[in-house]
A and B are shown apart, each in its own frame.
Chain A
Amino acid sequence: MAVVFQKTKGLTDKQFHYCPGCTHGIIHRLVAEVLEELGLLDDAIGVAPVGCAVFCYDYFSCDMQEAAHGRAPAVATGIKRVNPKSAVFTYQGDGDLASIGAAEIVHASMRGEKFTTIFVNNAIYGMTGGQMAPTTLVGQKATTAPYGRNEDLAGMPLRVSEMLATIPKAVFVERVSVHDIPNINKAKKAIKKAFEIQMKGLGFTFVEILSTCPTNWGKTPLESLKWLQENMIPYFPLGNFRNVEEVK
């Protein structure tokens, strides 16, 4: 008998508090598996955001630090500069990273801070009750946009990966999704690549992962995955935007 799949040592025994079908759990597992496979669990330090993933310090079995809203890249900068041999990562949602933390992420990547950011984009503010986020799609309903996001009033959704890919010291930028098995495998590869590049000290690494929010989207978990595929991927195209190792 061979074990094909079991829970990674990178996760603690604590059960996730996420809503049923929320893909945060898949992304947690992928990050934890990558840390375990690269042998980084003892050296890794994660920075937790504010948002649905605020309790992620309870779920990862490596060292974790909570940061103020949006400031995870600033905290990670300090941690990485003091512990340059550690694998440092931030785990942030779109409300945290793309709005209040937009300055921190832009300047951390501009400086080429050598940590990895895992950016979970579910196009809405989850924890606070489904308000419109910078990444909410045009026409998508939110509690602060009951008739759907109005392009004339609220502008167009922010494509963070494309924006960061224009910054020279952001050496690895990729957008992936977790809506089916092939994409989950691709997401894991991207996260692994990001950590490998970080450990080589080449610069700032960034992985954006499209995620669902069944509760605030008002859909079942299965409908949410379909909605992600049909609506988010056309506006947030998947793929690699920058890979320093392919340039060389």
Chain B
Amino acid sequence: MAGKVIFDENTCKGCELCVRVCPVNIVHMDKERINIKGYHPATVKEMDKCIACGSCAKTCPDVVIRVEKL
């Protein structure tokens, strides 16, 4: 595991911009849950594939994402 992304889920507005830019395609919208704002929040299932590039965080308009390198 090279990286870890942490979503502040309740501030996510479900715009999907982070899904588009992920180079390893691990970010997706969690269609089974809704957050406090009523959107499906962005989430990562296969965290071990994360390369900590920070692209998702750089494109997030609501500064939802924090990225750490392990």
Q: For residue A184, which residues in chain B have a CB less than 8 angstroms away from its CB? A: 58-59
A169 to B13, CA, bound (A): 41
Which of B21, B58, B66, B69 is the one whose CB lies under 8 Å from A7?
Answer: B66
Q: Give A1-37 as 1s and 0s: 1 = Cβ < 8 Å from B's Cβ atoms.
A: 1111111000100011011111111100100000000
Which of A2, A181, A185 is the one whose CB lies under 8 Å from B21?
Answer: A181
Which of A21, A185, A220 is the one whose CB lies under 8 Å from B13?
Answer: A21
A29 to B68, CA, bound (A): 18
Which of A7, A20, A24 is the one whose CB lies under 8 Å from B39?
Answer: A20
Q: For residue B16, which residues in chain A have a CB less than 8 angstroms away from its CB? A: 21, 220-222
Query: Is A180 in contact with chain B by the CB < 8 A criterion?
Result: yes
* Chain A interface residue number, banded: 20 to 34
* Given contacts A20-B39, A26-B61, A4 and B69 within 8 Å (CB-CB): yes
Q: For residue A16, which residues in chain B have a CB less than 8 angstroms away from its CB? A: 61-63
Q: Are A26 and B70 in contact (CB under 8 A)?
A: no
A225 to B69, CA, bound (A): 29
- Complex: chain B residue closest to A2, CB-CB: B69
Which has the most chain A C-beta neighbours within 10 Å: B11, B17, B58, B62? B17
Q: For residue A15, which residues in chain B have a CB less than 8 angstroms away from its CB? A: 11, 62
Q: Are B59 and A222 in contact (CB under 8 A)?
A: no
A25 to B13, CA, bound (A): 12
A9 to B38, CA, bound (A): 27
Q: Are A7 and B14 in contact (CB under 8 A)?
A: no
Q: Are A3 and B63 in contact (CB under 8 A)?
A: no
Q: Which residues of B are interface residues toward A (Cβ below 8 A)?
A: 3, 11, 13-17, 20-21, 39, 52-55, 57-63, 65-70
* 24 A-B residue pairings within 8 Å (CB atoms): A1-B68, A1-B70, A3-B67, A3-B69, A4-B53, A5-B57, A5-B65, A7-B66, A11-B63, A16-B62, A19-B13, A20-B14, A24-B61, A25-B62, A26-B59, A29-B63, A180-B59, A181-B58, A214-B15, A221-B15, A221-B16, A221-B17, A222-B20, A225-B17
